[in-house]
Structures are given as structure tokens and as C-alpha cells.
Amino acid sequence: MVIDLKRCAGCNSCTVACRAEKGTPPGILYHRVEKYEAGKYPAARMQFRPIPCMHCEEPACLEVCPTGATYKRADGIVLVDHNKCMGCRYCVLACPYEARHYLRRINNYYGIAGKTPYEMVKQKDLDKGTAVKCDFCVERLEKGRLPACVETCPSQARHFGDLDDPRSEVSELIAVNRGTVLREELGTKPSVYYING
């Protein structure tokens, strides 16, 4: 995935689309937009950085997972098998991008009114006491669609494709714009690149 920070306006549509797609319970967001100040007064400005799971080539979460619940697919997507996760939270601490969350409990949006039918459908695969994260919307990818955050981005700041193919749109964007990754020094080799403004 490539995220063009020059185009990102910090509208959080991606975060909302993610929540709608995944039906995450209150307090759990697989995606977030960090807001921070860049530059010095009087040239200071607000910057935004959307942060999904980086789906690293060398994931820190996979390295520490003691039960084999975390695994990497052949296409590079890092997933959690919630039937194998014992909820030790080692991965949540180890992830340098804070992309993982622990489902301590699954709260309802409307409290005592119970779960809405929407929540029931979307949360049927969630398991209390396990780690959860962004999965690049694998169920959409398998149907040939794009991840919800990419599809919804109103400024088309996000691009999705095959990083292994040097002629794909994402590879060319990275090459032309000198895309960077977050915390490169850790050697996690993230699959999410940023084009800096």
C-alpha cells in the first residue's frame, strides 16, 4: 500500500470506512490518523499520517507470538488466527506501530439495548481475549475489490497493489516519489509506504 501524504487532508474517512467494514467494537480501531505539528513557527503546519497495519515483511508481532496464532500469507498479509491466540498481548507490545489491539471485552455501541443485527454479523468472528488487527480487508481482496480505506479515500491518497511487481502502480509511485517507510531502522520492512509532502 502507498499513502500519499501530500493528498491526505486528515478527514479520517479511512478510519470510519474501516470501522464500518470491520464492525469493530467501541475502543478498538484497526486504523487511525495521527495528527502532529511539523516545522517551526511561523512555518509550522498540521500534518496527518494515516496508520493501518504495516503488514511487515519481518513482523515484530510474528517474531514474538508464542502460539503460532500470528502468521504471514504467501502474498505478505499478516493475520491472526483467533482460534490459536491465547491473549498474552506480547504482540500488542512488540508492534512498533501500535497497530494491534487486545479485545479485553466486546462492548455494544448502544449499551443495554444489546447488539444490533449489524454488529452481530460483523462481529461473529471476533473472539474476546484475543489480539486483533487490520487484515487489509482480505475478504474484499478475495472478491477482487480494494480494501475499504483505499476505496473510500476522497482525495485518492491511498493506492493498493503488488509491491513485488516492479511495474505495478504502487511500485512506480514509490520509485518516482522516493516513498519511505515508518521506523525503517527496526528492520521490520513494512509494506505500507508513505509519499512525504
Partner 1 sequence: MDQAEGQKEWGWFIVLYVFLAGLGGGSFLFSFILIYFDKYSAVARIGALVGPLVVLIGSVMLLFDLGSATRAYRLFTTPATLLSSWMIRGAWILTAFILLGLAYALPSFAVFNWLPWNQASGFGQGLGMAAALLALVVAVYPGLLLGVIKSIPLWNTSALPPLFFLSGMDTGLATLVLMSLAFPSVVQADGLHLLGAIDAGLIVLLLIALGAYIEIVRLTGVTAAASIHLLKTPLFIGGVVIAGLLLPLAIFICGAYVSDAASVRLMHGTASVLILCGGLLLRLSVIKSGVRIAVR
Residues that bind partner 1 (CB under 8 A): 34, 36, 49, 51, 60, 63-69, 84-90, 92-98, 102-104, 127-130, 182-183, 186
Quote the least distance from Cβ 162 to partner 1, whole Å: 25
Q: Least distance to partner 1 from the beta carbon of 101, Å?
A: 10
Nearer to partner 1, 146 or 192 (CB): 192
Minimum CB–partner distance for residue 68 and partner 1 (Å)? 4
CA-CA distance, 96 to 93, in Å (whole number)? 8
Strand, coil or helix: 45? strand
Measured from the CB atom, the residue of 29 and 141 that comes closer to partner 1 is: 29
Helix H or strand E segment including 62:
helix 60-64
Q: How far is the CB of 86 from partner 1 (least distance, A)?
A: 4
Q: Which helix (H) or strand (E) holds 169?
A: helix 169-177
Burial 97-122, CB ≥16 within 10 A → b, else e: bebbbbbeebeeeeeeeebeeebeeb
Between 141 and 182, CB nearer to partner 1? 182
CB of residue 195 vs partner 1: minimum separation in angstroms?
16
Q: How many CB atoms lie within 10 A of CB 39?
A: 10
Nearer to partner 1, 2 or 65 (CB): 65
Q: Which is nearer to partner 1, 50 or 147 (CB)?
A: 50
Residue 184 CB partners (closer than 8 Å, separation 6+): none
Give the other-Cβ count within 10 Å of 79's Cβ. 17
Q: Distance between CA atoms of 181 and 186, rounded to whole angstroms?
A: 11
